Structure 1
Amino acid sequence: MTKIIKFGGSSLANSAQYQKVIDIIEADASRQVIVVSAPGKRFDDDIKVTDLLIKYANQTIQNQDSSEVLAAIIARYQEIATAFSVPDDQFQIIPTTLTELPDQKYPNNEYLMAAFKAHGEKLNAELMAMVLNQLGINSRFVDPGEAGITVSDNPNSATVLPETYQNLGHFGYGDEKLIFPGFFGITKAGNIATFARGGSDITGSIVARGLNIPMYENFTDVSAIYAANPKIVKNPMPIKKMTYREMRELSYAGFSVFNDEAIIPAIEGQITINVRNTNEPEAPGTLIVPEGAFQSEHEITGVASSGHFSALYLHRYLLNKEVGFTFKLLQILYKYDISYEHMPSGIDDLTIIFEDSQLTDEKMRAVGKEIHESLHPDRLDWIRDYSIIMVVGEGMVNQTNALSKSIDPLATDGIKVNMINQGASQISIMLGTRKADANRAVLDIYNQFFNSQED
């Protein structure tokens, strides 16, 4: 069975990490398709190659001298190439390509930025193919344009187009290792466009689905996905197996090990994802699987929190009797290009929860003014101090006390719950708290569900 494997930036940061990756590739002959990120940080205060390329792009846009940052980028690749004795004439394509980037034609500066950023992955994939071939491992770099990875015309937040999967379905390969760069695709006009975030995860899922590969091993710098953030809970339980929708729900509230958008192509292709650790490859990691025959081992799978939310609270007597109130409210939000996350309501009260990045002080004042003029609420409050706690687990479907077990320890600890929302899927409970209380809430809920459970 062919496997696709993806390596994150920390796994490819330098030659020592490269050697670990090569050992993993050689350990299993079925690992035939490889997706790579750009070289990441080698130590805490280091700079990722992608960030160096962003600086290079900005200097190019502003017509500033970029010789220093260009040399720093080339040096990152040169260290790896030298360690594996890549011939100079082969390696030369990397400094040449980087040097010529400012001279290429781009539709606008956004596409310039996308192209510069994408070359972190592109050149690392080319270098990986060089290194593997130098070691006698038959390998080939695959350009996304050659493979037909076609994306929308959003230079720095592209989405994959459906024809990509048809294109990949016709893409043939033999016994050689295929090395794909992550993070980007090609628009119909032939321009490079990058995914918004977690791009290499997304590429891995796209290629797995397109090539009909049932196992996607995602190597990162953690040995498993855990039932809670290890920065909040000491030695939390590793999750052996979880479903796609559990991963989606937890990613929404801060589980950042695997990009939540990358789950979608995997779901569509019914692909099993195995999150593993490059630095501890013998660890089994966490399997992310279709719901199908999944059997949950615990009442909940995990608990997570995120503090990047704000809320708008509205109170008006007989609010529930007015036809069109919510419609008018949504029209105002649409006018200001604001999407909402949740809208729990009562007979006289309504709370709208937003993702913080959409809101500015100016927008909040303008929206508040229009709501007052159009809907005449008795009370309108913006709440910036807002965190969401997600309690998630397929096992909750058959439980009658999951909600009370989630809330009881918070009451005991004096944590006020501002919002409760049971997910329509019945596998999640969403709680709203103050940001200052979020970590304590996660710890309390984790202890309630896991301290008495055996691994």
Structure 2
Amino acid sequence: MTKIIKFGGSSLANGSQYQKVIDIINADNARQIIVVSAPGKRFDDDIKVTDLLIKYANQTIQNQATDAVLQTIIERYQSIADHFQVPAAAFQVIPDTLAKLPTQTYPNDEYLMAAFKAHGEKLNAELMALVLNQLGIKSRFVDPKEAGITVSDEPNSATVLPETYQNLGHFGYGDEKLIFPGFFGVTKDGNIATFARGGSDITGSIVARGLNIPMYENFTDVSAIYAANPKIIKNPIPIKKMTYREMRELSYAGFSVFNDEAIIPAIEGKVTINVRNTNDPEAPGTLIVPEGGFQSEHQITGVASSGHFSALYLHRYLLNKEVGFTLKLLNIFYKYDISYEHMPSGIDDLTVIFDNRQLTPEKMKAVGREIHDTLHPDKLNWITDYAILMVVGEGMVNMTDGLSKSIDPLAEDGIKVNMINQGASQISIMIGTRKADANRAVKDIYNQFFNQQED
């Protein structure tokens, strides 16, 4: 059974990390399709290659000198090539490509930025192919354009187009290792466009679905996905197996090991994802699987929290009697390009919860003014001190006391709950608290379900 295997930036930061990756590839002949990120940080104060490329792009746009940053980027790749004694003539394609980036033609500066950023992955994939061939492992770099990974015309927040899967379905390969760069695809006009975030994870899922590969091993820097954030809970239990939708729900509230958007192509292709650790490759990691036939090991799978939310509270008497109130409100959000997350309501009250990363103080003021002028609420408040907790588990479907078990320990700890919402899927409970209470709330809920007392 062929496997697709993806490595993040920390796994490819230098020559010694590269060697770990190569050992993992060699440990299983089924690992034939390899997706790579750009080289990440080698130490805490280091700079990722992607960030260096962003600097290179900005200097190019502003017509500033680029020699220093260009040389720094080349040296990052050169040090890896030297570690494996890649011949200078073979390596030369990398500095040549980097030096030519400013001379290429781009539709606009956004596409220039996308192309520069994408070359972190592109050149690392080319280097990986050079290194593997140098070691006698037959390998080939695959350009996303060659593979037909076609994306929307949004240079720095592209989405994959359906024809990608048809293109990949016709993409043949033999006994060689195929090295795909993550993070980007090509528009119908032939321009490079990058995914918004978690790009290499997304590429791995896309290629797995397109090539009909049932197992996608995603190597990162942790040995498993845990039932709670290890920065909050000491030694939380590792999750052995979880469903796609559990991962999606937990990612929403802060699980950052695996990008939740990257799961969507895997869901569509019924691909099993195995999150594993490059630095501990023998650890089994966490399996992310379809819901069919899944058996829960615990009542809940995990609890997570995130503070990147804000809420807009509206009060108006007889609000529930006014036809079109919500439509008018949504039209205002549309005008200001704001998406909302949740909208719990009562007969005279309505709260709208937003991801505050899309808000600015200026935008909040403008939206508030327009709501006042259009809807005339009796009261309007922005609440920026807002955190959301997600309590998630397939096992909750059959629980009659899931809500009380989640809320009771918070009441006992004196934590005020601002909002409760149980999802229609019945596998999650959303709880709103103050940001300062979020970590305590996670501890309380974790201990309630997993019976682990913290020091």
By the TM > 0.5 criterion, same fold? yes
Report whether the alignment pairs 1:185 with 2:185: yes
Q: Deviations over 1:304-345 (max 9, x none)?
A: 011111000011122112111111111121121111100000
**What one-letter code is carried by the residue in structure 2 that aligns with 1:179?**
I
Spell out structure 1 runs of 4+ moving beyond 4 A: none
Q: Distance in 2 between matches of 1:54 and 1:107?
A: 17
**Percentage of pairs with the same residue:** 86
The reply to whether residue 400 of structure 1 matches residue 400 of structure 2 is yes
> Match of 2:134, as an amino acid?
Q
Distance (Å, rounded) in 1 between the aligned partners of 2:371 and 2:211: 50
Cα distance between partner residues in 1 of 2:323 and 2:183: 46
Aligned-partner residue type, residue 391 of structure 2 = V
Equivalent residue number for residue 314 of structure 1: 314
Cross-structure match for 2:112: 112
Distance 2:5 2:291 in 1: 22
Residue 67 of structure 1 is matched in structure 2 by: 67
Q: How does 1:39-438 map to 2 (within 5 A)?
A: 39-438=39-438
Deviation of the 1:79 alpha carbon? 0.6
Q: What's 2:33 paired with?
A: 33
Give the 3-state SS of the residue equivalent to 1:343 in structure 2.
Answer: coil
Q: Specify the SS of the correspondent of 1:262.
A: helix
Aligned-partner Cα distance in 1 for 2:241–2:429: 20
Q: Match for 2:59: what amino acid?
A: Q
Question: Is the Cα–Cα contact under 8 Å of residues 60 and 102 in structure 2 kept in the other structure?
Answer: yes
More displaced stretch, 317-326 vs 98-107: 317-326
> Would you say the 8 A contact 2:340–2:353 is kept in 1?
yes
SS at match of 1:76: helix
Question: What do the CA deviations read for 1:37-96 (whole angstroms, capped 9, x no partner)?
Answer: 000000111100000000000000011111111111001100110010101000000000
Partner of residue 7, structure 2 = 7
Distance 1:166 1:118 in 2: 23
Shift, 1:361, TM fit? 1.8
Secondary structure in structure 2 of the residue aligned to 1:261:
helix
Query: How many angstroms apart in 2 are the aligned matches of 1:365 and 1:204?
Result: 41
Q: CA deviation at 1:373?
A: 2.0
Using the alignment, how far apart are the partners of 1:244 and 1:232 within structure 2? 24
**Which moved further from structure 2: 325-334 or 384-393?**
325-334
- Distance in 2 separating the partners of 1:415 and 1:452: 20
Letter of the 1:224 counterpart: A
C-alpha distance in 2, partners of 1:33/1:15?
Answer: 21
Deviations 1:210-242 (A, max 9, x none): 000000000000000000000011100100000
Paired AA for residue 220 in structure 1: T
Q: Per-residue deviation at 1:376?
A: 1.7
How far residue 365 of structure 1 moved from its aligned partner, in angstroms, is: 1.7
Offset from partner CA, 1:358-402 (integer Å, 9 cap, x none): 222222222212222222211111001111100100000000111
Code of the residue aligned with 2:269 in structure 1: it is: G
Number of equivalences: 453
Q: Per-residue deviation at 1:452?
A: 5.9
Instruction: State the AA in 2 paired with 1:359.
Output: L
| Matched letter for residue 221 of structure 1 | D
Moved more, 329-338 or 113-122: 329-338
Q: For residue 275 of structure 1, what is the amino acid of its counterpart?
A: V
Check conservation: 2:446, 2:452, Cα contact below 8 A.
no
Q: SS of the residue aligned with 1:229?
A: coil
Does the aligned pair in 1 maintain the 2:415–2:433 contact within 8 Å?
yes
